Amino acid sequence: MKQTNLQTSAKRLNGKKISDMIWYRTFQIITFLCASVIIVIIAFILIKGLSPFFKTYTIDGDEYRVNLGEFLIGTTWFRHPNHYGIGYIIVNTIYCVLLCLVLAVPMAIFSALFITRIAPKPISKVLQLIIELLSSIPSIIFGLVGMGYITQGVKYVASWFGVQTAGGLSTLSVVLVLAFMIYPTITMLSITAINAVGKDIINGSLALGASKTQTNFKVVLGAAKNGIFAGIILGVGRALGEATAISLVSGNRGSGPTFSLFDTTNTLTTTILKGFQDTTGLDYDIRFSVGVVLIVLIVAINIILNAVKRRVGAKV
Amino acid sequence: MIKRKIIDSFWNVLTYLFSSVGIIVLLLIFIFVFSNGASTLSWNLITSDYNQTTYVLSYKDKYDGGNFEYKCKDDEYFSSYWGIAFTDTVNTEGVDSVIISYIDDHSPLLNGLLDVGNDNYHHLQVNQYVTTALLVGEEGNIISCPARKGAESMAAGFNRGVSITTLNLVDGGGGIRGSLIATLYLILFTLILVLPLGIAAAIYLSIYAKDNWLTHLLKSLIDMSSGVPSIIFGLVGLLLFVPMFNALVVSEGYSILAGALTMTIMLLPIVISTTKEAIDVIPKKIISGSLALGASQTQTTFKIILPNAIPGILTSTLLAIGRIIGESAAIIFVMGTQVQDHVLPNRGGTTLATHIYNLMGLENPNYKLASAIAIVILMSVLILNILVKLIGYRLNKFGRKH
Amino acid sequence: MEKIFEIKNVNLYYGEKHALKDINLDIYKKKVTAFIGPSGCGKSTLLRCLDRMNDLIDNCKVEGSIKYNDKELNQYDTLTLRSNVGMVFQSPNPFPMSIFDNIAYGPRCHGIKNRKALEEIVISSLKKAALYDEVKDNLKGSALALSGGQQQRLCIARCIAMKPDVILMDEPTSALDPIATLKIEELINELKKDFTIVIVTHNMQQATRVSDYTAFFMLGEIIEYNTTNELFKNPHNKKTEDYITGRFG
């Protein structure tokens, strides 16, 4: 029997089926691997991070183990003698992030409103490009500019108030750097949210005799609030996780907590970063513990913010 | 009515005020970076070593002087006695210095200078900095030519001197070649790892995976890791990957390889989601068409799906490169902060971003060099962004899915 | 009969396109006037001129004279004009707020803050729009949770809350089911006691059911304008007759 070229021989068919099987399994295994990354991360950080509380370390001949309670509530962070407390660091971290939100969120919402609803088309396009550019600038450069300009600025402002600063390294510097960093993120998501508001309700508002400004603030922002909030949540995530940029302007405070704008400060991330290069033993392990706390904090804040988002969204 | 207009204008003014912040911030960054870095940025910077090598050289024998001729360019000062020309310049730390800008082929200084430190003859090269020179004149007088007196005075001093007691030379210094190469290595190795893995996972999730709880779980797990801050990835890398390569006897301590692995797990979510978007946009009917012709799923994947997903894959590549260039926290933990001039994959080093971090941590932060590096980073990020946009406009055949 | 709108020699251009050609029309006070005609013939466009919503469209140019209460339209401040001439749109467009806030929106924008005053306005508007009984227990509920017909009546109530003289309706029932449509038509018959109504409709029978006057549009021109009775019983123009009898749609 003649077999035409277009008919697949049984052998060919089998070959195809086997290769299909092989590729399917390969892709599947790779996907499972990728999905397991997060589990591996959490597992290892937990294991290493919990060890200071369960292992005993010998430092300078003394046996030492960190007390979990003291660790969580503590207000100092010293290497010698081992007084590791991150309580105050948690407070400082939340304080800095809150302040930076106070700055960044209004700036972002107003900018988004301006770009989408008020500015003439060409200016709007240029501004959007600028915001996109800003959001892709690596954080280290914000840190660089922070060290160069912002700390000088803070030093100057502090001198008006007659306050001494550690060369400008201060909470205010941290807050400013963070605010500038997350401002583009929130703005971009707000722009998307505002653009998605239906023309019909905008027209409806205008037809009732409301002015453009009233329409913008009462109807447009109201309808866009879900998207804007999502942007804020993203911004908060970024602010909590930022390390190198802040470590350059924070001043690394050893004790606290502090609420003064001109004092040096400390965040969880800068604590992990500081001086890690020549550490061993407990000082090394304890950074993983800080890492655990950081992850817990981020997850907790995310859950809280998402719950708030749902309530705000439902209250339509 | 008037009251309403006043309230409206108040809000309008606020809006204008707050929106100008974005521009102000960008301007701040650019002004700072450019004003500090532009003068330092040069081809020399990009190609020279970071660490300096200092030479102490001498030419003890009395030299009768050749009659060298050379047409000087602007700012160049020529010593016809020795056949060497000097130029004023600014070094990478912004200090006024003198460099050798021309050496005649027959000049005795070309290969005749003795390195006092190791008794070898030093091959003199253009673009090496002269910090100071001490010569002896005809009458046995000592002629001192420090760099701060400038190139003209140095050339004049050389013309009066018949032998050289010491010539202090500095080679390299403040260059970013090492960091640049390390960055490129990191990008290369990371892409080699993250692209195949990410694309494979994207293919599985878009095409093969059934719509059940397991698939949802996988997707969620992958998404979750994009919410983890980069410093945690650094810690994990330090914990897992650095020892791993050490155990394989490939490296000792930090390594670029460990950095590549760390960046890989960090970038997997974004590569997977961008590629997945590109695959999802391909109309189902094209895929059905291929299968209906008797092609196997594998053939369809490689001949139809992948080629049509290329724009998305390219986009994810560019996004990944952008993140790698900008990443600092994770890399510090697995590659260290020591600037390397001789870069090897199994050794640590600094990328452009961590080099800035290193410079900021010095007792005297080197703003000029850091700003120069920042310019390089900004330009790269800018170009990458433009490329991503271009790909978006030009190559998307199936329309954009927002 | 009093004229509330006098439209004289109006031509409207969308860029190059001549959308309204030499329109001459009078709208009478406290009567229902209907604009009918095939799609794209300019009915909605003319309607939007009456509250200057066309101003929001780029490259739209209007020539001619439109007088509202003996004063040229463009001499009015838009915010004042729109609080006197309200509009209900084709697709209900309630704000993503509570029922109460939707209706109170207009008055609030115009400076009424007093809680009691707002409550009075909301309740009376809902009653006039024949919606009050259905929602009176749930004024704080989301407006988006109402049915299509209820949402449209909400939009009418929202419009009434501004105490306008004129209500413009742009195909208000085209997105609604027959029962909701009937309710709105009944409402229109009630409303015309207090308001002048101009309604654009695709549905000729609707025009016969609710309107006192009807204008028939085609390709940007008014072919015929008369009392509804006359227009439908004795059309003067052959084109009108053809349209009414269904020879084209």
Q: What is the CATH number of the domain that holds A145?
A: 1.10.3720.10
Neighbours of chain C (3+ CB pairs under 8 A): A, B
Mean pLDDT of B160-184: 85
Task: Identify the CA nearest to A191 among candidates A137, A156, A236, A230.
Answer: A230
The number of folded domains in chain A is 1
User: Which of B137, B171, B205 represents a domain boundary (last residue)?
Assistant: B171
Residues B221 and B165 grouped into a single domain: no
Question: B156 with B192, same domain?
Answer: no
Range of the domain at B96: 52-171
Q: What is the mean pLDDT of residues B370-391?
A: 89
Asked if residue B15 is part of any domain, the answer here is no
CATH code for position B167: 2.30.42.10
A69 assigned to some structural domain:
no
pTM listed for this prediction: 0.81
Pairing of strands B84-90, C3-14: unpaired
CB B374 within 8 A of CB B315: no
CA trace torsion C205, C208, C213, C218 (10° rounding): 20
B266 shares a domain with B149: no
| B223-281 confidence digits (pLDDT tens) | 888 889 999 999 999 999 988 888 887 777 888 999 999 999 999 999 999 999 989 88
pLDDT, tens digit (0-9, with 9 covering 90-100), for C166-223: 999 999 998 889 999 999 999 999 999 999 999 999 888 899 999 999 999 999 999 9
pLDDT one-digit tens code per residue, C210-238: 999 999 999 999 999 999 999 989 889 88
Which domains does chain C carry? 24-244 (3.40.50.300)
Same domain as B75, residue B108:
yes
**CB burial readout A291-304, b (16+ within 10 A) else e:** bbbbbebbeebeee
pLDDT tens over chain A, length 316 residues: 454 555 556 677 777 778 888 888 999 999 999 999 999 999 999 988 888 777 777 666 666 667 777 777 777 776 655 677 788 888 889 999 999 999 999 999 999 999 998 888 898 998 888 888 888 899 999 988 888 888 888 888 888 887 777 777 888 889 999 999 999 999 999 999 999 998 899 999 999 988 888 888 889 998 998 899 999 999 999 999 999 999 888 887 777 777 888 888 888 898 888 877 767 777 788 888 889 999 999 999 999 998 988 887 766 5
Tell me the three state secondary structure of residue B294: coil
- Chain C neighbors of A211, CB-CB under 8 A: 79, 109
pLDDT for B44: 67
Quote the CA–CA distance of C47 and C89 in Å, as a whole number.
Answer: 11
Q: Are residues B278 and B254 in the same domain?
A: yes
Find, in chain C, the residue whose alpha carbon is nearest to that of B1: C110
Residue A73 falls inside a structural domain: no
Shortest Cα–Cα distance, C232 to chain B (Å): 45
Chain B residues within 8 A of C111 when measuring between CB atoms? 3-4
The residue with greater pLDDT, C246 or C64, is: C64
Query: Looking at the domain assignment, is residue A44 inside a domain?
Result: no
Residue B213 lies in a domain: yes
Run of H or E residues at B262: helix B256-281
Put simply, the answer to whether C93 touches A201 (Cβ < 8 Å) is yes
* Residue B145 forms contact with A (CB below 8 Å): no
How many CB atoms are closer than 10 A to CB A58? 10
Residue-level pLDDT at B398:
61
Tell me the chain C residues in contact with residue B3 when contact means C-beta distances shorter than 8 Å.
111
Q: Let me know if residue B297 belongs to a domain.
A: yes
Q: Name residue B90's beta-bridge partners.
A: B96
Radius of gyration from C-alpha coordinates of chain A: 27
A114-118, C19-23, C24-28, C156-160: range with lowest mean pLDDT: A114-118
Q: Is B184 in the same domain as B314?
A: yes
Q: C5 pLDDT band (50/70/90 cuts)? A: very high
| pLDDT higher at B203 or B292 | B203
Residue of chain C whose Cα is closest to the Cα of A198:
C93
Put simply, whether A106 touches B (Cβ < 8 Å) is yes
Say whether the peptide bond before residue A81 is cis (omega within 30 degrees of 0): yes
The Cα–Cα gap between B87 and A8 comes to 77
Residue found under tokens 């295994």: A29
Same domain (yes/no): B270, B292:
yes
- Please identify, among B171, B187, B205, the residue that sits at the C-terminal boundary of a domain: B171
User: What would the two tokens of residue C174 be?
Assistant: 């085209």
Chains in contact with B, where contact means 3 or more Cβ–Cβ distances below 8 Å, are: A, C
Model confidence pLDDT, tens digit, residues B269-326: 999 999 999 898 888 777 888 877 777 788 888 888 888 888 889 999 999 999 999 9
Contact assessment for residue B316 and residue B388, using Cβ atoms and an 8 Å cutoff: no
**pLDDT confidence of B401, banded at 50, 70, 90?**
very low
Q: Is residue B322 part of a domain?
A: yes
Report the alpha-carbon distance of residue B242 to residue B240 in Å, rounded. 6
Total domains, chain B: 2
pLDDT value at C100 more than 90 = yes
Min CA distance, C47 vs chain A (Å)? 12
Decide if A22 is inside a domain: no
| A277 contacts B22? CB cut-off 8 A | no
- Please compute the mean of the pLDDT values over residues C3-17 and round it to a whole number: 92
Q: What is the largest CA-CA distance in chain A?
A: 102
Tell me which residue range forms the domain holding A201: 87-314
In the structure encoding, which two tokens stand for residue B272, read together? 């997977």
SS3 track for chain A: CCCCCCCCCHHHHHHHHHHHHHHHHHHHHHHHHHHHHHHHHHHHHHHHHHHHHHCCEEECCEEECCCHHHHHHCCEEECCCCEECCHHHHHHHHHHHHHHHHHHHHHHHHHHHHHHHHCCHHHHHHHHHHHHHHHHCCHHHHHHHHHHHHHHHHHHHHHHCCCCCECCECHHHHHHHHHHHHHHHHHHHHHHHHHCCCHHHHHHHHHCCCCHHHHHHHHHHHHHHHHHHHHHHHHHHHHHHCCHHHHHHHCCCCECCCCCCCCCCCCHHHHHHCCHHHCCHHHHHHHHHHHHHHHHHHHHHHHHHHHHHHHHHHCC
The answer to whether C79 faces chain B, any CB pair under 8 Å, is yes
Residue C222 neighbours by CB under 8 Å, 6+ apart = C23, C24, C25, C215, C216
Looking at residue B197, its pLDDT comes to: 95
Q: Do the Cβ atoms of A95 and A259 come closer than 8 Å?
A: yes
Whether A78 maps to a domain, the answer reads no
Same-domain pairing of B234 and B368: yes
- Do residues C226 and C236 touch, judged by C-beta distance below 8 A? yes
What six digits make up the tokens of A53? 């509380």
| Within a domain: B12 | no
B360 and chain A: CB distance < 8 Å anywhere? yes
Q: Tell me which of A244, A268, A274, A301 to substitute to probe the interface with B (most B C-beta atoms closer than 10 Å).
A: A244
A58 strand-pairing partners: A63
Has residue B399 got a pLDDT over 60? no
Show the DSSP H helices in B124-176 as ranges. 151-160
ipTM attached to this prediction: 0.87
**Are B145 and B244 within one domain?**
no
For residues B188 and B273, membership in a common domain is answered with yes
Residues B56 and B200 in one domain: no
Closest CA to A271 of A259, A298, A296, A289: A289
State pLDDT tens for residues B97-137.
Answer: 888 888 888 888 888 888 887 888 888 888 788 888 888 88
Q: Is residue A226 part of a domain?
A: yes
Query: Which among A30, A127, A277 is the nearest to B22, CB-wise?
Result: A127
For residue B85, give both structure tokens.
Answer: 């020309």
Tokens of B8: 């409206």
Token output for B168: 């202090």
State pLDDT tens for residues B213-227.
Answer: 999 999 999 988 888
Does residue B20 belong to any structural domain of this protein? no
Q: Which of B171, B190, B211 delimits the end of a domain?
A: B171
Q: Do C83 and A214 touch (CB under 8 A)?
A: no
Is the Cβ pair C144, A207 closer than 8 Å?
no
Residues B319 and B269 grouped into a single domain: yes
The HSE-up count of residue B194 (CA atoms within 13 Å, CB side) is 35
- Averaged over C27-42, what is the pLDDT? 90
pLDDT at C195 (0 to 100): 93
